[in-house]
Chain A
Amino acid sequence: MQSYVQIENASMVFSTKKGKFTALTDINLNVNQGEFIALIGHSGCGKSTLLNLVAGLLDATDGVLLLANKEIKGPGPERSVVFQNHSLLPWLTSFENVYLAVEKVFGDKESKAQLKARTTAALELVGLTHAAAKLPGEISGGMKQRVGIARALAMEPKVLLMDEPFGALDALTRAHLQDELMKIVAATQSTVIMVTHDVDEAVLLSDRIVMMTNGPAATIGEILTVDLPRPRERLQLAHDPAYHELRSQVLEFLYSRQMRPKEAA
């Protein structure tokens, strides 16, 4: 089967005041359609940089990135991003924030009523119909992140890119949103690449976990296939030896083979 997202020999070099800084080198990754990929690694390992390369917010210094056999050049709505800090426009209501994206993607082909229906449906998907008329400043952090997810999903992207989407949330809200995300992804068959630093989140949500070595010049250290059957239940997994085995494999990679950057230095 042809891979959907192909990353070949990608590298990223930033020019800083102190000279060249190689963030990523020699990245090779193939993602299948409908697959859920988690990128995990210590902070500063360039996992967000890799996501931004796929998003097109950064241009790879070297190598090729393809989506459905087309080269990725610049950002575009077919690769929607859920940002770490929600990035909602504070002067627009939840509805308007989502509508802005919907209008951009479908505005040429569809009537206003259809666009509004899409927006409403996206908010319903994340359970926020009641907060449609609220400004971001009036809703909780978890709700803002859900609006961000609704905005990204409403664009019907080929790939959904998530940059530590639940990192800023408390544990209970995070668990709740992870469960919701699993249901939504199962329903929409989305292809997802998610950056995370949470081992449990990676094992719970993904089909494969891409573990990255420490920067500078970070690369993919190991890829772990998570073959736990879906739908996955948080509580059942807590007693599942296979889950714990996968979890300890990730932990082993992160803490024993890839020391924290501080200790390595």
Chain B
Amino acid sequence: MNAITLNDRSLKDVMDAPETTPLAASQEATPVARRTPLFETESGKRFIEGVANLFKAAFPPLLGILFFVALWALIANTNKSIPGPAETWDAAVVLFSDPFYDNGPNDKGIGWNILNSLYRVGIGFGLAAAVGIPLGFMIGRFDFLNRMLSPVISILRPVSPLAWLPIGLLVLQKAEPASIWVIFISSIWPMVLNTAAGVQRIPQDYLNVARVLNLSEFKVFSKILFPAVLPYVLTGVRLAIGVAWLVIVAAEMLTGGVGIGFWVWDEWNNLNVAHIIIAIFVVGIVGLLLEQMLMLIAKRFSYD
């Protein structure tokens, strides 16, 4: 009964004072009209959260780099022959302001040197992939071949890459193909071994599916073998490109020509230590980029 009377009353109130309704509406509207501070809105909060997360993620690496630079500055301070961070930075700004100048074969911009090194790595590494990946597939698939080649690979693999250089110079007669040969022989092993391991580790389940379906050899390769082994191949490729980039500097120091490795040696002869330090950073950063690029590709083909 109470509820009904209450209802009656409220109904009556509304009927008696119809003009209150628009008033109430306008009162409700005012808080919306008043602008909420930017950081109280949903997107504002998300922005702050994003900045906080970014800071959390970036802080440890930034701190590490800061320590590294501080240590470097300290060493440069005690040993005057080593240029400090500021001095190196100034030299780098000059160097990178004109990366592609060309004053004859022994004086080219840093850009040319990097590109030349990358070109040699690309050729040597590409040849290694073209030979190593199919070879790895065959070693993984045929046990006989595996047992036949295992001892040879085991002996050749641990050989220091530069030990191959004299053979290359002897056979190929020129510095350029000899350094490509060194890249080839040192970057082929990770690709052979990883591909072979991948083929050997294909889950029996997948092969059983292939057997029950009676798939043709081509289908087995394209639908099962290749995709199953691809992550292993890419791991091999990633390791190989790391090795290749590692080796190119040393090979070019010995063979000369245009390239980041030779450039380091040249600047050592000029006693330009700032440029040597810049070269170390350039080699490191290019190597990191190559690795990251392959990691991205590998991620695309990972199904775990």
Contact = CB atoms under 8 A, between A and B. Distances in A.
Interface of A: 55-57, 74-77, 79-81, 83, 85, 87, 89-92, 100-101, 104, 135-137, 155
B212 interface: yes
A74 B208 CA distance: 11
Contacts of A74: 211
A77 B208 contact: no
A87 B214 contact: no
B157 interface: no
A81 B204 CA distance: 14
Nearest to A52: B208
Contact of A91 (B212, B213, B214, B227): B227
Nearest to A86: B205
Interface in B247-304: 301, 303-304
B303 A87 contact: no
A85 B208 CA distance: 12
A100 to B, nearest CB: 6
A135 B303 CA distance: 9
11 contacts: A57-B208, A75-B214, A76-B214, A85-B205, A87-B209, A89-B209, A89-B224, A104-B215, A104-B219, A137-B303, A137-B304
B46 interface: no
Looking at B212, B215, B227, the one whose CB has the most chain A CB atoms below 10 A away is: B212
Interface string B13-52: 0000000000000000000000000000000000000000
Given A89-B224, A91-B227, A75 B212 contact: yes
Given A89-B227, A100-B223, 11 more contacts: A57-B211, A74-B211, A75-B212, A77-B212, A77-B214, A79-B212, A83-B209, A87-B209, A91-B227, A91-B303, A155-B213
Nearest to B211: A75
A133 to B, nearest CB: 15
B206 interface: yes
Contacts of B227: 89, 91
A84 to B, nearest CB: 9
A155 B227 CA distance: 23
Contacts of B209: 83, 87, 89
Contact of B223 (A80, A83, A92): A92
A104 B223 contact: no
A89 B212 contact: no
Contact of A57 (B212, B215, B301, B303): B212
A253 to B, nearest CB: 30
A104 B214 contact: yes
- Most chain B C-beta atoms within 10 Å of own C-beta, residue among A76, A92, A100: A100
B219 to A, nearest CB: 8
Interface string B181-217: 0000000000000000000000001101101111100
- Give the interface size class of chain B: 10 to 19
Interface in B220-249: 223-224, 227
Nearest to A135: B303
B303 A90 contact: yes
A100 B214 CA distance: 11
Contact of B213 (A57, A90, A101, A136): A101
Nearest to A81: B212
Contacts of B224: 89
B213 A104 contact: yes
B231 to A, nearest CB: 10
Contacts of B213: 77, 100-101, 104, 155
A77 B208 CA distance: 12
Contacts of B303: 90-91, 135-137
Interface centre among A79, A80, A81, A136 (most CB of B within 10 A): A81
A56 to B, nearest CB: 8
Contacts of A155: 213
A181 B238 CA distance: 46
B298 to A, nearest CB: 14
Nearest to B215: A104
A81 B208 CA distance: 9
B226 to A, nearest CB: 9
A77 B214 CA distance: 7
Given A57-B212, A137-B303, A87 B205 contact: yes
Nearest to A83: B205
Contacts of B208: 57, 75, 81, 83, 87
B206 A80 contact: no
B152 to A, nearest CB: 28
A55 B212 CA distance: 8
Contact of B206 (A55, A56, A87, A135): A87
B208 to A, nearest CB: 6
Most chain-B CB neighbours within 10 Å: which of A75, A76, A92, A135?
A75
B178 to A, nearest CB: 41
B118 to A, nearest CB: 31
Contacts of B206: 87, 89
A101 B224 CA distance: 13
A177 B215 CA distance: 28
Contacts of A83: 205, 208-209
A32 B65 CA distance: 75
Contacts of A80: 212
